[in-house]
Amino acid sequence: MTVETPDGERRVLVVTHPGRADAAAVAADFCARVAAAGMRVRLLEGESEALGTWSDDLEVAAGADAADGCELIVVFGGDGTILRGAEFARPSATPLLGVNLGHVGFLAEAEVDKMDFTVDHVVNRSYGVEERLTLDVEVFAEGASVARDWALNEASVEKAARERMLELMIEVDGRPLSTFGCDGVVCATPTGSTAYNFSAGGPIVWPRVEALLMVPISAHALFARPMVVSPDSILALEIAAEGADHGVLWCDGRRTVELARGARVEVRRGERPVRLARLHRAPFTDRLVRKFELPVTGWRGRPSTGGRG
């Protein structure tokens, strides 16, 4: 889908980490190049000064609707900055392109050392778009809904006090599954399976698989294995009302909700996906090998057919 403004001009929203000089320098170079190609550039309020005065024709926006009217969001940074960009991509359905300035960077599609390639594909609209499953999260206290949020990677319920465990009951599709003391539980998407889920011992799930993941963290229980369930399932986590401590809900490691004793968190498939721009058609297997530097030297399998992950 091509998005254009009523005046017919093409716009791109650029998001970066204003506290990182390297990110600001690369983003400013990108902005100057696409502007020279005839595209208008929009920056977030508070980030324009960090990118310098390379143009007098830029736009500055603030708020959740900052991407409205833009055909693409380009983010310069690690996965944390890309997740911030996703907060603008989700409500507007604008595709998001991440340029990796971090380390592993599974959400990033482009590399900072291939800027000519990236600019060319943005200007010529030479990219595909994939929809990624998200999570809708709702918090209940004493039976009443008290908070709502969402996540692209994961929603986790964790203990608030380092010295004590959190007593949690887990539930799937309205049926109780187990109760145990733990440091927390991660509910993840396939996109987030290489993030917190991976660190917690959960499985890696190919992004095109539709599923929800639930992974206990340091649970004191015989049955505390990672689980992969239907994308239509509803996952629920309840903090014991008579427990010793309260908890914290984290959404994508960026937004938090304090959870009192007895609080209930429900996680389900999100109504709105996040659309990621793809410059490459390489299989997800190749991305795993590259990002984790996996040893495949000497492989003699058949040539790749170019399947996508």
Q: Do domains 11-126 and 135-269 have the same CATH topology?
A: no
The runs of H, that is alpha helices, within the chain are: 21-36, 79-92, 115-123, 196-199, 284-292
Q: Which fold has domain 135-269?
A: Tumour Suppressor Smad4 (2.60.200)
Tell me the per-residue pLDDT of 270-301, one tens digit each, with 9 for 90 and over. Answer: 999 999 999 988 889 998 998 888 999 888 88
* Residue 306 banded pLDDT, cuts 50, 70, 90: low
Q: Among the CATH numbers 3.40.50.300, 1.20.58.1180, 3.40.50.10330, 3.20.20.30, which is that of 11-126?
A: 3.40.50.10330
Q: Would the pLDDT of 39 be above 50?
A: yes
Cβ neighbours for 162, distance < 8 A, ≥ 6 positions apart: none
Q: Pairing mode, if any, of strands 175-182 and 227-229?
A: unpaired
Each residue's pLDDT tens digit, 157-199: 999 877 788 999 999 999 999 999 999 999 999 999 999 999 9
Catalytic residue among 79, 149, 183, 252: 79
Residue 120 is a catalytic residue: no
Domain boundaries along the sequence of the chain:
11-126, 135-269
Q: Is the pTM of this model over 0.85?
A: yes
